[in-house]
Amino acid sequence: MEYIPTNLEPEIRIKKQSILDVLCTDKNGSKYIIEMQNAKEKGFEKRAVYYASKTYATQMDKGGKYSDLKEVIFIAITDFVMFPEKEAYISTHSIRDTETNEHDLKDFSFAFIELPKYKKHDGAQGVDEWCDLFKYAAKTSEADLKRIIGSDLVIEHAYEALNQFNWNETELIAYEQEIKRIMDNRAADDYIRDKRQEIEARGKAEGKAEGETKKAIEIAKKMLIKGKDIAEIIEFTDLSKEQIEKLKSS
């Protein structure tokens, strides 16, 4: 799953955004638009259709085929009631045949999660876990948090991210300093490891070169005993004239 933030998260010390707008692409190419909306906005449902349509259309490159277009799923999490006439807190919408209700046009679907309608309950799983996170995280105790998270690392990371989003400036600076310390230590460890590998590699290379030099000297000695010319020995062993002269006089 590729994660593409369409609105970069702001610095917490500056301002919190009212909208979280995220675009994801799964391994099949399907697009997921995810929005969190705090304040009621006129025409929000039309904006959902507009964003989904725009995302769908932008898939078409020059010379592309209509058959290559992938489905778009729009998910909205609202902190207000969008559909007062609906009792359920989740409503899903798709393009259907008005006569038969057959789902022939499958490339668009919309899901609206209305948090005010959601009621907390024990044993929440799946979507309900996320609704607990979005609606009740600020009121959740550490003990409840451990019970909710269990072994679900995704939910744990989400709670951590939401917790950071509500930090004040002092808490954020302390967190950033701790992250910097961890990153600096990691960089130092990486530097030491790289240097150690570099020294080991250099030692191996030097050892190999030294062994090759010793072998060349032994060959040069044998060639000198046989009365070979110095120029021929240089060409054959790659030793210098000075090295060979020294061997000759030793």
Cα distance between residue 203 and residue 207, in whole Å: 6
**Inter-axis angle of helices 241-249 and 230-237, nearest 10:** 120
CB 33 within 8 A of CB 55: yes
Q: Where are the alpha helices (DSSP H) in 122-152?
A: 127-136, 142-149
Top-confidence residue, 235 or 168: 235
pLDDT for res 18 = 39
User: Residue 26 in 3-state DSSP?
Assistant: coil
* Upper half-sphere CA count for residue 167 (Cβ side, 13 Å): 19
The confidence score (pLDDT) of residue 9 equals: 44
Beta bridge partners of 95: 105
From the number of C-beta atoms within 10 Å of its C-beta (0-12, 13-18, 19+), residue 118 rates as buried
Question: Quick one: pLDDT band at residue 107, thresholds 50, 70, 90?
Answer: very high
User: CB under 8 Å, gap of 24 or more: what pairs does 7-10 form?
Assistant: 9/165
- Tokens, residue 224: 């000198």
The domain ranges of the chain are 2-117, 181-249
Alpha-carbon span 185 to 240, nearest angstrom: 47
Helix/strand number for the chain, H first, E second: 7, 6
- Residue 146 is predicted with a pLDDT of 58
pTM above 0.85, yes or no: no
Cβ atoms < 10 Å from Cβ of 236: 13
> Length of the chain, please?
250
According to DSSP, the β-strands at 90-95 and 31-37 are unpaired
Residues 122 and 129 sit within 8 Å (Cβ to Cβ): no
Reported as a pLDDT band with limits 50, 70 and 90, residue 166 is low
Read off the pLDDT of each residue in 123-129 and give the average, rounded to a whole number.
67
* Alpha helices in the chain, H assignment, sequence order: 44-57, 127-136, 142-149, 153-165, 169-225, 230-237, 241-249
Residue 4 has pLDDT above 80, yes or no: no
For 2, 95, 164, 182, 225, the CA distances from 16, given in Å and listed in that order, are: 24, 35, 11, 26, 87
Q: Encoding tokens for residue 20?
A: 């979280």
DSSP letter at 72 equals E
